[in-house]
A and B are shown apart, each in its own frame.
Chain A
């Protein structure tokens, strides 16, 4: 398992997950930089993500939607706060309406990614997520995340 640690703080609604990959920093950076690669890992197979706009620069915006098993297509957006190749990415992630515009009543969450060399040729990735409220978190969990969890549990069951 690439995951090496997970820290969760319910008081501040923050989670930090750390993983190590057998790949260079440049290669792991590509997983974030290239929207076609991002689409392959952001959503689970049962709830794939389609990225319709991707501006990977500070202040740049991302539009995407997920496609659920029932054909439902919830939309989301990102806004990059920092893009510092190849070590650091920070973005806000929010839910969007049908037209792709941010939902006004829905505060964004913040995601901070940092990449570093664990050992030569091996990359350590830390992802810190901060939710604005428990209510907002529930809505994020419902947007393809719930389905993601079920799919992931299904995969684990298949392995056992």
Chain B
């Protein structure tokens, strides 16, 4: 993960997503949930049996991961199904690729303007 913290004057409103991802992954239980859901989907009660904590506590961890968009949760019958958000991450990667093309062309145009000077 790449984060540049060289500029300390930060508008925290826009740090939210980065903060949420870091906060979410700072906890061992949540990292374990992310690792497990990368293999297959888990129900919240299944996860609750894996960790020495209450159903409610696991649910809270899942909610933190959900806010950071690392997992998605959906209802399946009586169960809550937790799924890794690889699809969302892949989508973000594709979007960033489009954004890269945009900036490459901007930089190309900047370079042309600078070339005109000489």
Chain A residues with a Cβ under 8 A of chain B = 1-3, 6-17, 19, 21-23, 27-28, 31, 37, 40-42, 44, 81-82, 88, 90, 92, 107-110, 112, 114, 125, 127-134, 137-138, 140-141, 145-146, 148-149, 151-153, 155
Contacts and interface: CB of A to CB of B under 8 A. Distances in A.
Nearest to A130: B14
Interface residues of B, number: 42
A76 to B, nearest CB: 14
Contacts of A108: 14
Given A23-B117, A90-B7, A92-B11, A13 B102 contact: no
A69 B107 CA distance: 22
B4 A148 contact: no
A141 B114 contact: no
Q: Is the interface of A mostly helix, strand, loop or mixed?
A: mixed
Nearest to B104: A3
B18 A129 contact: no
Contact of A141 (B3, B95, B107, B110): B95
Given A8-B97, A9-B2, A15-B96, A31 B14 contact: no
Interface string B62-106: 000000011000000000000000001111110111111111111
Given A90-B7, A130-B17, A145-B98, 10 more contacts: A13-B17, A13-B92, A15-B103, A28-B114, A31-B114, A42-B106, A44-B105, A112-B7, A132-B14, A140-B99
10 contacts: A9-B3, A11-B89, A12-B18, A14-B2, A17-B103, A19-B107, A130-B14, A131-B17, A134-B91, A146-B98
Contacts of A9: 1-3, 96
B96 A8 contact: yes
B109 interface: yes
A10 B110 contact: no
Given A17-B100, A92-B11, A145-B99, A12 B17 contact: yes
